[in-house]
């Protein structure tokens, strides 16, 4: 998110990648404080910088770095507070026209310090200059000038567009009868053989249930693990499905097993792990009526996720579905569960 913030224009150049233990970070911190005072005196508030075109730049840089599925929650939520609407389709449209040029850990091969020494976010902007909007930044300089001033010192870390790791950005938005409002996958972390996958569902109503099944050896090649009721309302809170994805990968199943959830993932997720399924199960989305053995088809290039059931069968199941009782019935989390929006809108509070 620090890289996204810099591309958005809300932090100074190199702030995102400068190492915390180096003097450069201290200098940037001091300069940041000075700039805040100057901006306040000039009445330049965040909304004057965080406009639609600035958010598009942030999304492009996110895609170029390989993408994090969590940014599909954070960026729309920030945009909402800035009065900018960013539907999921914007992410997919920009991903299709943004090459993946920097392969960053934990899902890639390079460390953030490698990116910094190669030229940082300004160097990434330089690579994307023809694709980015010439927006204003907190530094007082426009993005194109920052890109023009940048230098690229390591082309193995920040690749040329024509030598990109992938022609498309790190994230893809999938839709279909299983996710009418959309679902998110980090396609840059999916192997070529798993970009299209069909398997039978193994359905679990919580992360804990899913983890027990994985650890007990009840998941095998060709299965699609479905973990539901972990969305913003169902969790409540949409916790990360780090343990199931890491365990599947650790067991050598990331090239033969997929995972689908209305929860979310960590940045280190590998394989065909599809999250943010919307509407979530707790809201009565189609995911709520999946059954063990249902066939599910995933086609990332076609942006498709579907259960191989007729519309009539899905509708029949939905009519008999009963909403589970909330896991938490009092306190802030209870209030949160009642008022939070879908992950498709950034899981913002209504």
Catalytic annotation, pick one of 29, 139, 266, 341: 266
Is the CB of residue 348 less than 8 Å from the CB of residue 77?
A: yes
Q: What is the pLDDT of residue 179?
A: 98
Is the CB of residue 261 less than 8 Å from the CB of residue 228?
A: yes
Helix residue ranges, H only, 69-108: 71-81, 88-96
Over the chain, what is the mean pLDDT?
Answer: 96
d(CA 257, CA 271): 8
Write out the chain's pLDDT in tens, 350 residues.
999 999 999 999 999 999 999 999 999 999 999 999 999 999 999 999 999 999 999 999 999 999 899 999 999 999 999 999 999 999 999 999 999 999 998 888 999 999 999 999 999 999 999 999 999 999 999 999 999 999 999 999 999 999 999 999 999 999 999 999 999 999 999 999 999 999 999 999 999 999 999 999 999 999 999 999 999 999 999 999 989 999 998 999 989 999 999 999 977 777 899 999 999 999 999 999 999 999 999 999 999 999 999 999 999 999 999 999 999 999 999 999 999 999 999 999 98
Superfamily name with CATH number, domain 171-345: IlvD/EDD C-terminal domain-like (3.50.30.80)
In this structure, what DSSP letter does residue 259 have? Answer: E
Residue 22 tokens read as 């180096």
| 3-state secondary structure at position 273 | strand
Domains in the chain: boundaries: 2-163, 171-345
Q: What is the pLDDT of residue 96?
A: 98
Tally of residues, the chain: 350
Q: Could you tell me if residue 220 is left (phi over 0), alpha (psi between -120 and 50 degrees) or otherwise beta?
A: beta
d(CA 333, CA 233): 9
Q: What is the pLDDT of residue 267?
A: 72
Q: What is the pLDDT of residue 30?
A: 98
Encode burial over 134-170: b for 16+ CB neighbours within 10 A, e otherwise: ebbbbbeeebeebbeebebeeeebbbeeeebbbebbb
Hey, which bits of the chain come out as E strands?
171-176, 179-186, 196-204, 223-227, 258-261, 273-278, 295-299, 304-307
Q: What is the pLDDT of residue 108?
A: 87
d(CA 112, CA 165): 17
- The number of C-alpha atoms within 13 Å of 91 and in the hemisphere containing its C-beta is 33
In this structure, what DSSP letter does residue 104 have? Answer: B
Does 266 qualify as catalytic in the annotation?
A: yes
Encode burial over 295-314: b for 16+ CB neighbours within 10 A, e otherwise: ebbbebeebbbbbebeeeeb
Which residues lie below 8 Å from residue 174, measured CB to CB, with a gap of 6+? 182, 183, 184, 185, 274, 298, 300, 303, 304, 305
Q: What is the pTM of this model?
A: 0.95
């Amino acid at each position: 998110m620090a890289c996204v913030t810099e591309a958005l224009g809300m932090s100074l150049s190199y702030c995102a990648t400068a190492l915390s233990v180096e003097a450069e970070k201290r200098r940037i911190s001091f300069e940041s404080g000075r700039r805040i005072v100057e901006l306040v005196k000039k009445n330049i508030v965040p909304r004057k910088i965080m406009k639609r075109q600035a958010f598009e730049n942030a999304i492009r840089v996110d895609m170029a770095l390989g993408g994090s599925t969590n940014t599909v929650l954070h960026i729309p939520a920030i945009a909402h507070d800035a009065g900018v609407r960013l539907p999921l389709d914007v992410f997919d449209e920009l991903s299709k026209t943004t090459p993946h040029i920097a392969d960053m850990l934990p899902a890639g091969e390079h460390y953030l310090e490698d990116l910094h020494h190669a030229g940082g976010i300004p160097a990434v902007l330089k690579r994307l200059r023809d694709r980015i909007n010439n927006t204003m930044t907190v530094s007082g300089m426009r993005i194109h000038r920052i890109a023009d001033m940048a230098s690229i010192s390591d082309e193995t870390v920040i690749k040329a567009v024509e030598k990109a790791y992938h022609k498309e950005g790190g994230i893809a938005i999938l839709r279909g009868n299983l996710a009418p409002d959309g679902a998110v996958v980090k396609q840059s972390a999916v192997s070529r053989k798993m970009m299209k996958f069909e398997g039978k569902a193994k359905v679990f109503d919580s992360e804990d249930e899913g983890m027990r099944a994985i650890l007990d050896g009840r998941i095998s090649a060709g299965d699609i693990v479905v973990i539901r009721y972990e969305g913003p309302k169902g969790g409540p809170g949409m916790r990360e499905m780090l343990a199931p994805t890491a365990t599947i990968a650790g067991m050598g199943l990331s090239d033969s097993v997929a995972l689908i959830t209305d929860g979310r993932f960590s940045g280190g997720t590998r394989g065909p792990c599809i999250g943010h399924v919307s509407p979530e199960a707790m809201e009565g989305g189609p995911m709520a009526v999946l059954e063990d053995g249902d066939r599910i088809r995933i086609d990332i290039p076609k942006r498709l996720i579907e259960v191989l059931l007729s519309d009539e069968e899905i509708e029949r199941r939905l009519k008999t579905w009963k909403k589970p009782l909330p896991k938490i019935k009092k306190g802030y989390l209870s209030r949160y569960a009642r008022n939070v929006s879908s992950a498709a809108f950034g899981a913002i509070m209504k």
